Amino acid sequence: MHSRRTPRGTRTGATLLAAVALLAAGCSSGSSASTASSAEEEAAAAALAPLPRSTPAALTRYYEQKPAWRDCGAPGFQCATLNAPLDYAEPAAGDVRLAVARKKATGPGKRLGSLLVNPGGPGGSAVGYLQGYAGIGYPAAVRARYDMIAVDPRGVARSEPVECLDGPEMDAYTTTDVTPDDAKESEALVAAYKKFAEGCGADAPKLLRHVSTVEAARDMDIVRAALGDKKLHYVGASYGTFLGATYAGLFPKRVGRLVLDGAMDPSLPARRLNLEQTEGFGTAFTAFAKDCVRQSDCPLGDADTSPGQAGKNLKAFFDDLDARPLPTGDADGRRLTESLATMGVIAAMYDEAAWQQLRESLTAAMRENDGAGLLFLSDSYFERNAEGEYANLMFANAAVNCLDLPPAFGSPDEVRRALPDFQKASPVFGEGLAWASLICAYWPVAATGEARRIEAKGAAPIVVVGTTRDPATPYRWAEGLAGQLSSARLLTYDGDGHTAYGRGSACIDSAINTYLLADTPPKHGKRCS
C-alpha cells in the first residue's frame, strides 16, 4: 500500500476520510424518522427503480463523446474533460464539466476494459486517488489488465467544485463548539451551520441543486460509454459503495465487476444511519483503548483500566479543552479546541496503523499541554494545508449528503431529545456526532432523494465487503446492502479499520483480485481475517 501511513488509512490524503465526513460535515443520508426506526419501516422503503435501457435522444450527444486525452500529473497519467447535463430532466438547460483521469493498462495479458475507482466521501477526489495511490498501488496484475479510470463526481475537486467558506472562515467553523452547554452555545452552532450553508448556496446556486448521488451515478454511465465499454467495472470504497450500488440500481444490465468495500446501507433513515455510525466509532474506540492501555505510554490508563474508564478519561480531557484550549505552536496562532481534538481522535480510528500516532499525540496533549499532534490529525482530516487553505472535500460532502436525503434533525430541540441514544452508542463521541447531524436542517436546497432499497435485479454478481469493526461504515451496513442487492456476494473481513481491500489481508485481496481478473466472485458469506 501507500508507503506513508496517514490517519485516514494507508492510502492518499483524500482516500478514506470521506466516510467520516458523513457525520462530521453534519449531514447524513435518511429521513427525519424516529431515532430507532423499526425494521418494518426500513423494509417498507421503496426500491430504486432502474432506468430504461435505451438512451434518450436528448442525451445522445453526451453518450457519443470521445475523450481528448492529454498527459497530466505523474508520467503515465492522462486527463480529459467530459460533459454531462446539469439537469437530467432538462438536458438543454446546460452542462456540468467532469474531470476524468486514466492510466492505461500496462500489460502483459489481454486488456479487460476500464476499471473505475472511487475513494468515498462524498467529496473525495477520485482523480487525486488514482494519481496518488490506485494508479500505482493497486495490484500489478490488476493494473496490467485494466485501464485505471477516475472521475471526480460533479461538485467535487476538479469537477466544478462547490466552495462555501474561505480559509479563515473554515478555521473558525472547525473550532465551533459542537457540544453546546446552553442556549447561547447552541445558537452559536446554528449560526455557524447557517453561514456554512449560505456560503455554499451563494457559490453555486444552480449546481447545488444537481450534485446528488443519482446524478453522479448517471454521469458514470456517460463516462462508461465515452470509454467504449459495454459494462462498468468499478471498485468503490465507503460512500463509493453507495455510488456504485446506485449505478447498479439504475443500470443493472450494464453492471460488470463491481466491488463495494466498506458498504453503506441505502435503506436506513437518517437518525438510524447516524446512530449506527456513532456506535461504529464507539466500537473502534474500544478496540483502540484496549490496545492503548497495554502500552507503557498510554495517557488514558494502565493495564487495569477498562475501555469504559479510558473513554471517561478521554471525555474529561475533551471537557477540559472546552474551557481551556491548548497551545499548538501553530503559525496562525490556532489552539487545540474540543472540536479539533475530537476530530483528530476520530481521524485516527480509520486505521489501526494510526493508533501509535494517536497515542503519542494524546500523551503530548494530556501530559505536556502540547496540542500540535492532535491538531495535525485534525488538519489532515479536514484537508487543511500549511498555508491555511482547505480542499473542497467538506463542502462537497455536505452538498451531496444534504441533497441526497432529508435532514436527520430539524431543530436543536430534536437533537437534545436524541442525545441519550447517541451517548449510549458512544459515550466519547455521541454528543458531538448528534449535534453534527444538524447542518442539513439549514441547507438552502431541499433534499431530492429518500432512503431506498437497492435491488439491481438482473445484475451480474456484485461483491460487497464489510469489516467487522469498521468505525465509519459499520459491518451491519454491509449485511444490509448485501441483503438488498439481488446478486450480492458478501465478503467479510474480521478486523479493525475502515474498508478491507489492500489493507493487509491476503485472503481479502486474493478474493477480490480473482473476481476482477477472472470474473469469479467469492462465495457468499466468505470470511477472512
CA dihedral 44, 48, 53, 55 (to 10 degrees): 140
Dihedral sign for Cα 440, 445, 451, 456, please: negative
Q: Kindly name the residue from 470, 487, 496, 505 that is annotated as catalytic.
A: 470
CB-CB neighbours of 407 under 10 Å: 26
Q: Kindly name the residue from 186, 339, 498, 505 that is annotated as catalytic.
A: 498
Strands 526-528 and 488-496: what pairing? parallel
- Cα–Cα distances (Å) from 466 to 184, 260, 476, 525, in that order, read 41, 9, 8, 11
Q: Is 524 a catalytic residue?
A: no
d(CA 168, CA 166): 6
d(CA 258, CA 101): 19
Query: 244: part of which helix (H) or strand (E)?
Result: helix 239-250
Q: In the numeric block, which cell numbers belong to residue 116?
A: 473505475
Q: Kindly name the residue from 238, 267, 339, 426 that is annotated as catalytic.
A: 238
Q: Is 219 a catalytic residue?
A: no
d(CA 456, CA 248): 5
Strands of the 462-469 sheet, one edge to the other: 70-71, 77-85, 95-103, 146-151, 113-118, 232-237, 255-261, 462-469, 488-496, 526-528
12 burial via Cβ count (<10 Å: 0-12, 13-18, 19+)? buried
Contacts of 160 (CB under 8 A, 6+ apart): 96, 97, 154, 204, 207
Q: Is 470 a catalytic residue?
A: yes
Q: In the numeric block, which cell numbers belong to residue 342?
A: 475530537
| Identity at 406, one-letter amino acid code | P
d(CA 129, CA 236): 11
Residues with a catalytic annotation lie at: 238, 470, 498
